[in-house]
Amino acid sequence: MVVSKFRKPNFFERVLLVLGIIVVIVGYFLIQKMVSVGGGLLSWDSVQSLFLWLMVILLVIVLAANEALKEELKVVQKNQTTELGLIRKELKMMGKSRARKRKR
């Protein structure tokens, strides 16, 4: 049996991927059109638009990284919860065995 280390992306991550691709493509064509209408020279408006577009792309990347981190933390939390349960059982067993030894 092959165990995959990768998890399946959830709905929010899929929507974020599609949204990010749309932002990149539409933003690129809008900025290219703005520069070409301006005669091929970079104006302050086109530079501002370019930096705002890059900031939106950066925001999408940060959102995706944050969502991935949240999903990984869910897995870690689940593993730690099961481990704490095992530790509690072991401590109870150790307490019972000590009580038996004291009675002897």
Per-residue DSSP letters for 49-94?
A: HHHHHHHHHHHHHHHHHHHHHHHHHHHHHHHHHHHHHHHHHHHHHH
- Number of domains, the chain: 1
Task: Show the domain range for 90.
Answer: 11-103
Instruction: Tell whether 5 is covered by a domain.
Output: no
pTM of model > 0.75: no
pLDDT in tens, 6-15: 778 888 888 9
| 6 domain-assigned | no
The amino acid that residue 99 corresponds to is A
**Structure confidence at residue 82 as a pLDDT band (50, 70, 90):** very high
The pLDDT score that the predictor gives to residue 104 is: 64
